[in-house]
A = this chain, B = another copy of it.
Amino acid sequence: MNCRKCGKKAVINMRQHKLGLCEQHFLDWIPQQTQRFIEKYGMFTNDDRILVAVSGGKDSLSLWDVLARLGYHADGLYINLGIDDGAHYSSKSQRIAEDFAEANKLHLQVVAIESLEGFTIPEASRRTLRGQGRPCSVCGLTKRHVLNRVAREQNYDVLVTGHNLDDEAAVLFGNTINWATGYLTRQSPLLEAKSGLVRKAKPFFRFYERETAAYALLRGIEYIYEECPHATGATSLYYKELLNTMENRRPGAKLSFLLSFLQAKESGFLADGDSDDSRELRTCQSCGQPTTAPDTCTYCRMWEQIRSRQPRTIEGRHT
């Protein structure tokens, strides 16, 4: 297969677009498409101050790289979760993120959850029933809270994340299989700012994971290859496998699943009934962040509880 633009040997074949590209044209294509998505979905402009959630993985580093190449004012925020039992996942990914920022003269801010709240995510998980012994729920809630808090306190206009099509399709699949109406209503590449919640955008949401991985590889971006050690067996990974078998059978299946969903939503097919958006937001009496709870937000209540409890022993752990 040859490059559609120049006829040289293609390095990547994107079957869903029937598009092969050589290295150079692929490295141009990704920013061009990103720019197209940013404009099409009205995500942000050159005047906006952008905060990129940087994990050290291929998606967030590629996104930061692309936004910088496109001339956007994009700073990074790395959250150290303290996942260092065994594989040194957090310390390694922090080092990678810092090296990337330094080499590209970009501004990276680091927040360590242990310094902020007194415990790492794995420690916190052992002190709460939330997530039933798995740290993913504690981790997700904490990241969402910290990202919004930092973006808001430092007056960023928009918070961007590196979620790719495989991520988005897997989340959509889970929400659809359970007809989780509230989540379905909220799933979008762009969530507008609202009562203390900063605008959120996902400029990479139409790229397949293999495309962002190819971009990082061809741009020579060092990233952390490992999945988070706690992700093993996660339902989202199972959904990704299922979607991969569908994609193999019909190239473009994932993309058309997500786009037809967005189109159905756009056409008014999904009612806005019991979504989070329709619920009134109040101000947390403890941290000042927006919350649907009557006084203290879920984040503050969870960490208050974590600090007041002893860790569960091995025998006491939930199975």
**Interface stretch (choices A129-137, A222-230, A267-275, A284-292):** A267-275
Does A231 interact with chain B (Cβ within 8 Å)? no
Cα distance, A33 to B263, chains bound together (Å): 39
- The one of B179, B257, B271 in contact with A271, judged by C-beta atoms closer than 8 angstroms, is B271
Q: Answer whether residue A253 sits at the interface, using C-beta atoms and an 8 A cutoff.
A: yes
Residue of B nearest to A241 (CB): B245
A5 to chain B minimum Cβ distance, whole angstroms, is 31
A17 at interface (Cβ–Cβ under 8 A)? no
CB distance from A235 to the nearest CB of B (A): 9
Contact present for B256 and A178 (CB under 8 Å): yes
Residues in chain B near residue A178, CB distance under 8 A: 256-257, 260
Of residues 226 through 270 on chain A, the ones whose CB sits less than 8 Å from some CB of chain B are: 238, 242, 245-246, 249, 253, 256-257, 260-261, 263-264, 267-270
A181 and B268 CA atoms in complex are apart in Å by: 10
Copies of the polypeptide in the assembly: 2
Q: Is A176 an interface residue (CB 8 A)?
A: yes
Are the CB atoms of A177 and B246 closer together than 8 Å? Answer: yes
A303 vs B192: C-alpha distance in the bound complex, in angstroms? 52
Chain A, interface size: which category? Answer: 20 to 34
Contact between chains at B181 and A257 (CB < 8 Å): no
Which residues does chain B contribute within 8 Å of A261, judged by CB atoms? 179
Interface string of A118-129 (1 = CB under 8 A from B): 000000000000
By the criterion CB–CB under 8 Å, are B238 and A249 in contact? yes
Could you tell me the distance between the alpha carbons of A263 and B180 in the complex, rounded to whole angstroms?
10
Cβ contact within 8 Å between A269 and B181: yes
Once the chains are docked, how many angstroms separate the CA of A89 from the CA of B136?
A: 52
Q: How far is the CB of A8 from chain B (nearest CB, A)?
A: 32
Q: Which residues of B contact A242 (CB under 8 A)?
A: 242, 245-246
Q: How far is the CA of A257 from the CA of B273 in the complex (A)?
A: 20
Are A181 and B267 in contact, with the CB atoms below 8 A?
Answer: yes
Cα separation A179 to B172 with both chains bound (whole Å): 12
With contacts A176-B176, A249-B238 known, is A268 near B273, CB below 8 A? yes
Would you give the shortest CB distance from A176 to chain B, in whole angstroms?
5
Contact of A267 among B263, B268, B273 (CB under 8 A): B273
Of listed A181, A238, A253, residue having the most chain B CB within 10 A: A181
Q: Residues of B contacting A238 with CB < 8 Å?
A: 249
| Top-9 shortest CB links A-B | A179-B260, A179-B264, A181-B269, A179-B261, A269-B271, A181-B264, A177-B257, A176-B176, A268-B271
30 sample A-B contacts, Cβ–Cβ < 8 Å, listed by A number: A176-B176, A177-B246, A177-B253, A177-B257, A178-B256, A178-B257, A178-B260, A179-B257, A179-B260, A179-B261, A179-B263, A179-B264, A179-B269, A180-B260, A181-B264, A181-B267, A181-B269, A184-B269, A238-B249, A242-B242, A242-B245, A242-B246, A267-B273, A267-B274, A268-B271, A269-B270, A269-B271, A269-B273, A270-B271, A271-B271
